Chains A and B, each alone.
Chain A
Amino acid sequence: MAFYEQHIHDAPKTFLSKYIFSYDHKVIGKQFLWYGILFLGIGGLMALMIRWTLAFPGQAFPLIGNFLFPETGGVVPPDTYAMLFTMHGTIMIFYAITPILIGCFGNYLIPLMIGARDMAFPLLNMLSLHLAVLSAVLLMAGLFTPLGAAAGGWTSYPTLSTLIGSPGVGQTLWTLAIFVLGISSTMGAINYITTIITLRAPGMGYFDMPLSVWGLGLTAILNAIFLPVLGAGCLLLIFDRVFGTAFFLAGAAATTGTGDPVLFQHVFWIFGHPEVYILILPAWGIVSDLLSFFARKPAFGAKATALSMTTITILSTLVYGHHMYTTQMSPLLTQSFMTLTMTISIPSAIFFANWLGTIWKGSIRFHTPMLFSLGVVFVFGLGGLTGLYLATVTTDIYLHDTYFVVGHFHYTMAASVLLGGFAAIYFWMPKMFGVMLNEFWGKVHFWITMFGLNGVFMGMMVVGYAGMHRRLYNPFVYEFMERMIPINTFITWSAIIMGLSQIIFVVNFVYAVFFKKEKASTNPWEVGTLEWTIPSPAPHYNFKEIPIVKSGPHEYGNPKLTGDRDFQYQTEELV
């Protein structure tokens, strides 16, 4: 099937060609993983500062508060608070989740799972990483400018993000950073799409691909189509800020002319709604695979799952208006967007039922990756269901811009994707680094994270339902919210516990990568997809001989199996 043969070149020898200018998709994937974990830490710390301010207003942030905010005696100042939630959102979405799920696992898994030796365009792949690093530098540079980094929210709506709302250089740097990151992700997407179409091993049809590859491929399609839309919006915003154009300035804000601030919201959400699926689709794919691998059963309705994900991908492009019900849209439009949004529940329900069908009566092995996958099933169910209240115009008018929204999108995007990412790290660790992570500490990490994040996000929904607005520095100036201080304190303690439990993961991970002597076997999880047919860690150029695919990825307990195992490699034929 592969359209052409990828030739094997010599392994790189020098440090530069091995780690800095590496063309190898495996190395680039690992680099994205470290990049993502670093930013996960930075973004997480920012989240803790936000939570601390909400639970203990006026108290100094412990340990590092005095160092970071000496002029207020360690208390997070109001303008810094705005900067923190802006940078927290931006970093987590674009610099933590995107690199880990798409940058790392997209790069690492696609060639290995489809039986290719590398990406179709290794040079483009390397440039994508380098641009991502450049973008991170631009973003972080904003923190060191006189007026601080961007503070207009991760959505950076005008006029907050124009020169009137944020006069500092930070916002310009933010916009530039997102633009550069957009180019980087588009480069990745071009690579993923082309690789999946042209480099599948002989015999591998689209439905023989593991569902992870489906998720990653659909994500790449959305990336390639919709990141340029954000790019256009960012360009116009940069022009407004730097050259004095008037695209997003209106009324008294504009000295001349009639721009339109709401136009940016349209452009942003035309990109922004697909973006939430960009983030979640890889996690869905990975979880669909892992549930089957650890339930020792075929993925129930794998074809239907793949097609549901495709349907969601298509529908996700048509529903962006549900982010903008409160912008004086015509009722005809709001109702159309509401109907389209509700339609997404149908394919979602199909693949969700397929997940349950997969684990139904399975001989489940509760290893750490499976725990995290089951966690995704739980939190995504909750996140998806609360979305219905936000899709409905009548309830959204009340819930808009409250903590209910924050709770909802953290359940879907943060909790699901984070747990999915951890599942993937625990699962593919032996193939990536040649060692297993410690199972016991993995399980401890899972349970604390799971309880912590549910405490945080469930609590957010409760306070949001009670009317607490997002983005207020001190919401307790309002009388009706004073009674919410105890539950906010509870949320913050949950967040602190969840944050601290990540130290377990980091120690486990760093120890395994650098110090662990005991090597992992070729196929520790007894799984049949192509990457488990080669040694751990995956060797240079992956496959000496390009494998020939003869069966699907989830043949567990099939009565037609030939060996005495309960699974079958994809290179083996069924009876």
Chain B
Amino acid sequence: MGDNKMTKERMGRQVTSSIAMTVVLVAFSMLFASLFLGYTVFRVTSDVWPPMGFERVDLFLPMVSTLLIALSSVSFWKFQTVFIKNGHGKKQWFSLTVFLGLAFMASQVFLWRSLHAKGIYVQDGIFPSIIYSFTWVHAAHVVLAWIALFYLVPTLKAGLNIEDYENRVFNIGKFWHFLGIVWLIMFITMFLL
């Protein structure tokens, strides 16, 4: 119990799992890259941006989202470090990640509601189409990742065999950070620029 030696078998499983996760992330990157390709086409072919008299989206809520998702990445990273060292505070960092993930989704809902309050609906043209669709697709992935977090509940037990659970912690962590990076790119290209 709590034995943390690196055997050849364990190394092999880690490498296998990370190769598979790399392929997964490449696939998801291509999904989002295609969306950004579409966005780029619309953006560079439009005379003014935002088009058709739309105003830019107020930056406050997207900034809150950015902060929340960045913090959740940090707290997941802390959870992972504690988990590997078999140290204390696993539960706190895990709960914080879950909470921050939930808070991010709430901030997205507020963003959509604030757009609705201004009378901007998804069917109003290409600009709202992009803002809504891209945040929807991203949010859908965050929901999946958030549900996947609960797959980590068994890792919260004290004194477990790290080797049995490490790969799922690494993989869900990578996906969680990946979604953070995607959001950051969305924040910069769609809201800031």
Contacts and interface: CB of A to CB of B under 8 A. Distances in A.
Contacts of A243: 122-123, 132-133
Given A247-B126, A260-B45, A263-B38, A227 B16 contact: no
B126 A246 contact: yes
B52 interface: yes
Contact of A257 (B24, B38, B129): B129
Contacts of B28: 228
B193 interface: no
A245 B123 contact: yes
Contacts of B137: 235
B123 A256 contact: yes
A257 B122 CA distance: 11
A58 B10 CA distance: 68
A340 B178 CA distance: 33
A198 B38 contact: no
Nearest to B133: A239
B117 to A, nearest CB: 19
A232 B15 contact: no
A464 interface: no
Nearest to A220: B23
B25 to A, nearest CB: 10
A263 B43 CA distance: 13
A473 interface: no
Nearest to A4: B12
Secondary structure call for the A interface: helix
A253 to B, nearest CB: 13
Contacts of A259: 126, 129
B30 A225 contact: yes
Given A224-B23, A258-B125, A260-B45, A3 B34 contact: no
A4 B125 CA distance: 53
B182 interface: no
B31 A228 contact: yes
Interface stretch (A188-196, A347-355, A427-435, A512-520): A188-196
Contacts of B32: 232
B126 A194 contact: no
Contacts of B133: 235-236, 239, 243, 245, 247
Interface residues of A, number: 40
Interface in B108-154: 122-127, 129, 132-133, 136-137
Contacts, number: 121
A265 to B, nearest CB: 12
B67 interface: no
B41 interface: yes
Given A245-B123, A258-B46, A258-B126, A228 B30 contact: yes
A231 interface: yes
B45 to A, nearest CB: 7
A121 to B, nearest CB: 7
Nearest to B10: A4
A47 interface: no
A542 B34 CA distance: 41
Interface in B15-67: 15-16, 19-20, 23-24, 26-28, 30-35, 37-38, 41-42, 45-46, 51-52
B16 A3 contact: yes
A524 interface: no
Interface in A177-212: 186, 189-191, 193-194, 197-198
A194 B126 CA distance: 40
Interface string A237-266: 001000111110000000011111001001
A194 B19 contact: yes
A263 B35 CA distance: 11
A258 B54 CA distance: 13
Contacts of B51: 257-258
A229 B28 CA distance: 9
6 contacts: A198-B19, A228-B28, A232-B32, A246-B123, A257-B127, A258-B46
Nearest to B32: A232
A527 interface: no
